[in-house]
């Protein structure tokens, strides 16, 4: 088999992600989890979750989406590359379904899920286009994805760059310890979705809570929250996309 540089980079990225998220998982607390649980309840309206819906949560972390939606009569399966995150998720929600797995190789059959969610996870993947192709196959026809990602067109970045690029890197975006990391802007995300065979149905402001974390995080989140009310969605820090799978032809 010929050497594939792209695949090699992707594999190195995955190794880095495992370490990164295993360390990050130790920082969670029941109080923070409750804030996320309350905020993520908004998903019920954004993607019209009904009784009997089968949901896959990509990069489930400590089970925030499961916690928000589990009172409903739905089936939720959460996957995450971090064993520590899955361990915490199972401790918080022992009756739920969690699996340690990689988004590059989602271990389910085609046409399995009605809804797939990925909040603050896809942007940290190396080959985003490949993952979207893999994930799309797991959706049933007319299935929906709800994807929330960071936006490199965030108004504060645009106002501060290039003079304050260091501040941006150290304050708003902590270094992701892998070679080649780069956030995408709004138009880049839209193009990526469409090229992957997904229609952008709706766009929303982020549902993630911002009133948590240490003092530095809270200051950052306050700035993010204020800008949400001052600028168009295209310039928000994070943006939520409701995506629809193209219907199969005949």
The DSSP letter of residue 81 is: S
Domain range for 150 is 5-245
Spatial neighbors of 174 by CB under 8 A, at least 6 apart, are none
The answer to whether position 187 is within a domain reads yes
Domain CATH number, residue 204: 3.40.50.150
pLDDT tens readout for residues 82-113: 999 999 899 989 989 999 998 988 999 999 99
Q: Grade residue 77 by pLDDT with cuts at 50, 70 and 90.
A: very high
Number of domains in the chain: 1
* Spatial separation of the C-alpha atoms in residues 77 and 186, rounded to whole Å: 29
The answer to whether position 145 is within a domain reads yes
The answer to whether position 217 is within a domain reads yes
The answer to whether position 51 is within a domain reads yes
Spell 45-64 as b/e; 16+ CB within 10 A means b.
eebebeeebbbbbbbbbbbb
The answer to whether position 20 is within a domain reads yes
Give the mean pLDDT of 172-189.
Answer: 72
Tell me the Ramachandran region of residue 2: left when phi exceeds 0, alpha when psi lies from -120 to 50, beta otherwise: beta
Nearest residue to 46 via CA among 147, 195, 155, 194: 147
pLDDT tens readout for residues 182-219: 789 999 999 999 999 999 999 999 998 887 777 877 88
Check residue 248 and give its pLDDT.
55
Contact 149, 184 (CB under 8 A): yes
The answer to whether position 175 is within a domain reads yes
Check residue 215 and give its pLDDT.
80
The answer to whether position 250 is within a domain reads no
pLDDT tens readout for residues 65-75: 998 987 778 99
Tell me the Ramachandran region of residue 93: left when phi exceeds 0, alpha when psi lies from -120 to 50, beta otherwise: beta
The answer to whether position 105 is within a domain reads yes
Spatial neighbors of 54 by CB under 8 A, at least 6 apart, are 74, 75, 77, 112, 113, 114, 115
């Amino acid at each position: 088999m010929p050497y594939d540089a792209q695949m090699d980079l992707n594999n190195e990225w995955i190794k880095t992600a495992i370490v990164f998220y295993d360390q990050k998982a130790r920082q969670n607390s029941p109080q923070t989890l409750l804030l996320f649980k309350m905020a993520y309840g908004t998903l019920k309206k954004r993607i019209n979750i009904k009784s009997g819906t089968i949901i896959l949560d990509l990069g489930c972390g400590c089970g925030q989406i499961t916690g928000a939606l589990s009172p409903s009569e739905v089936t939720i399966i959460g996957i995450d590359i971090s064993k520590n995150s899955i361990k915490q998720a199972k401790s918080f929600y022992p009756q739920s379904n969690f699996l340690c797995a990689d988004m590059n190789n989602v271990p389910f059959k085609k046409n399995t899920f009605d809804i797939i969610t990925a909040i603050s996870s896809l942007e940290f993947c190396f080959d985003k286009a490949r993952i979207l192709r893999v994930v799309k196959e797991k959706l049933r026809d007319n299935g929906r994805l709800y994807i929330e990602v960071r936006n490199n067109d965030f108004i504060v970045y645009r106002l501060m760059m290039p003079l304050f690029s260091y501040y941006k890197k150290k304050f708003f975006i902590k270094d992701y310890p892998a070679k080649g990391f780069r956030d995408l802007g709004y138009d880049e995300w839209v193009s990526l979705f469409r090229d992957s065979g997904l229609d952008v149905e709706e766009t929303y402001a982020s549902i993630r809570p911002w009133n948590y974390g240490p003092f530095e995080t809270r200051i950052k989140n306050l700035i993010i929250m204020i800008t949400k009310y001052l600028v168009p969605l295209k310039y928000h820090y994070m943006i939520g996309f409701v995506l629809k799978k193209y219907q199969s032809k005949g």
